[in-house]
Chains A and B, each alone.
Chain A
């Protein structure tokens, strides 16, 4: 007993501790669990499709036992932040969903070096490309230098915001019929007055938090003029929030709020959807994806109806936009599984394949490469298709990149919209909450964005690109008809 014994015991204790500290490190250095084959990581933000994706992955694996698909859905709000960080840290997915900036998405993703061409750059077989209508693959939009980078995923006639969903119970309690929806702004107001008077529900569940404001704004603004999802007016070649039409639409939304027809609070889309699904609101304006979201909230399509958005009392002077390649799955530039990714994409886009059938039957949306009318059974989706099929409900927007092919190398537009991308929504949310005019801040937003766009285009033109503001201006195009380039 004594210090000698104690020192020995201490030494033994330290020696005993060492393996315990090292063991986790050694385990971490070990290889994978030993499963053979390739693993493909697919990322998107369609959380309501998680179960469907799991089944699709299982079916794909059954048909291709050497490839395992790990399909992960991240909350939409977080997706745009998580994905770049994942790429930066070298842990990005092999295939990812990216639908920002519409036709300019490929340009943006190429600039960020996030994507590689399908089939490792080789020519795509005719059996693949003929799944889509003629003209679906365009240089500068999803093709460049003879290589194809992506394919249209959603059918662009039906996909997008701008539909009005009506809660049958609330309408019934108010003595209204969802088969006779309000068609004009005045009718919308009188419907709301009725709902407010006869029921305890709010009339319109309208999310006004951040970008979710777009749901009511796009739906109502489509009756006044046509712009893209970033407030750009291609007829005038300008960002449009300060335009009289946009101001008029916003003023109408303010009237709805003042009259107590909007559910109070600065709510996000999830909250508003829940309000609608639980009968706390009679109307919600949302998009093609909504039936699948309602299903995940336990609301069957028999409990609601879909209608066209109401238009100004003087008649529709605009339309919702349609643009090619609004939604896409891309192959990561960093993936080592390019072959497997192509195999998966090829399997996914079979018009009569498992994915297409189940996707359409599940009411998740429409597909650009499948027979939607044949497979879509969901009543709400069929209503959406019927509404969007009407001429002039959704029109093809002009495509600047087809007017000026050098725009595929331009970053001017992306820079103009990239700084404070939610500025328009912040301005609207602030003006709506504060019950003040939108015009001052709208003019600020437009001036800033237009200045950036013009300055960057000038810079790029000086560097030799054939680009200018004229590329974004189509004065002969009408808001209510499809844009067709002059031959």
Chain B
């Protein structure tokens, strides 16, 4: 039986309460804005409590986010080693050197490759896992959730060290297993080549954060009303049709946000590179955060000014990337409101 056509795109007009499915009453109402001029404000002593709860966060925010940002901008115009007076103003010299530094651009390319690579793998996989985890017939959900989430609890550096030993071609467990099965000669070094090293970094990162994105997807899936599935069931829809005609369209607004989060988080990669590859072989797995770290703390004397300029330049690039995605996010936010999810 053909399924009644449903458009994957949101309706042109927002559905009115009378045309919405009957489960509408059970869906939490979107909070409505009070009329202008009628907004509730904290009064009297309550204001003090509002301030008391906000001040610690503001202090931390200013101390650990705003101040370092301002300081970084300032330092980027100096040739400064991090100690001693800030007296060697070089203007834009640091920036012009960075723009001409092939290692910086290699780090940028690697970072983008890593971000795109991890996102392309972890999001579909974690969505699949979330879809399975939200099935009613699945047993031991809690145990499975713990298993998937557990790698996230391991500190990144520790995970990197563990895999350094597991993947070591001399006596690592993986190599021994592959050699025992006759698949390799026992000397396969995944870190000997740029592309296998990058792929290894991507896969280990996916393994570590998989659980986190599975939770995000599960939260998104829980906002899809059951009534839609029931209605589709009545219409004789297959599982694939339910997935492609109901689930994916309904979670699309949230998916855009998850994709943006995934990309931005992946661009922060650092701990795995330090522990697994050290930027090697040679400099072929340098990422931007590792480049900044090496410039800031690896040079002697430290090159704080140069590292600050690199950090700022990459922040601008990341900001442009995120801003360009912002268009999709805004559209998604609008669609979410229309769908009421």
Contacts and interface: CB of A to CB of B under 8 A. Distances in A.
Interface stretch (B186-194, B201-209, B223-231): B186-194
A279 to B, nearest CB: 12
Contacts of B193: 433-434
B282 A426 contact: yes
Given A113-B84, A430-B281, A430-B283, A264 B189 contact: yes
Nearest to A89: B83
A267 B302 contact: no
B241 interface: no
The number of chain A residues touching the other chain, given as a range, is: 35 or more
Contact of B187 (A260, A267, A414, A420): A260
Given A264-B189, A267-B170, A434-B282, A84 B82 contact: yes
B46 to A, nearest CB: 12
Contacts of A209: 278, 280
A265 B302 CA distance: 30
Nearest to B49: A14
- Counting chain B CB atoms within 10 Å of each CB, the highest count among A112, A427, A431 belongs to A112
A309 B81 CA distance: 39
A202 B279 contact: no
Contacts of B281: 266, 429-430, 432-434
A421 B303 CA distance: 12
B170 A202 contact: yes
Contact of A419 (B169, B187, B278, B303): B303
B282 A271 contact: no
A80 interface: yes
Contacts of A422: 298
A280 B300 CA distance: 36
Contact of B170 (A275, A418, A433): A275
B284 interface: yes
Contacts of B212: none
Contacts of B282: 426-427, 429-431, 433-434, 441
B7 to A, nearest CB: 53
A88 interface: yes
A87 interface: yes
A271 B301 contact: no
A264 B187 contact: yes
A399 interface: no
Interface string A89-128: 0000000000011000000100011100000000000000
Interface residues of B, number: 31
Given A265-B168, A433-B192, A434-B193, A414 B301 contact: yes
- Counting chain A CB atoms within 10 Å of each CB, the highest count among B81, B168, B170 belongs to B170
A263 interface: yes
Contacts of A418: 299-301, 303
Contacts of B278: 209-210, 266
Interface in B156-191: 168-171, 187, 189, 191
B169 to A, nearest CB: 4
B299 A421 contact: yes
Contacts of A85: 82
A81 interface: yes
Contacts of A112: 81, 83-84, 301
Contacts of A264: 169-170, 187, 189
A13 to B, nearest CB: 13
Contacts of A84: 81-83, 297, 301-302
A81 B303 CA distance: 12
B84 to A, nearest CB: 6
A422 B301 CA distance: 13
Interface string B64-98: 00000000000000000111100000000000000
Contacts of A265: 168-170, 189, 191
Given A271-B168, A414-B300, A418-B300, A266 B279 contact: no
Interface string B260-301: 000000000000000001111111100000000010011111
A263 B170 contact: yes
Contacts of B277: 266
A80 B300 CA distance: 9
Interface in B212-265: none
Contacts of B299: 418-421
Interface in A158-175: none
Nearest to A434: B281
A266 B192 contact: yes
A210 to B, nearest CB: 6
B169 A426 contact: no
25 contacts: A80-B300, A87-B83, A112-B83, A113-B84, A209-B278, A210-B280, A260-B187, A265-B168, A265-B191, A266-B192, A266-B277, A266-B280, A266-B281, A267-B168, A271-B170, A414-B300, A420-B103, A426-B282, A430-B281, A430-B282, A430-B283, A433-B191, A433-B192, A433-B193, A434-B193
Given A263-B170, A414-B301, A417-B300, 15 more contacts: A81-B298, A264-B187, A266-B189, A266-B277, A267-B170, A275-B171, A280-B171, A418-B300, A418-B301, A419-B299, A426-B282, A426-B283, A433-B191, A433-B192, A433-B282
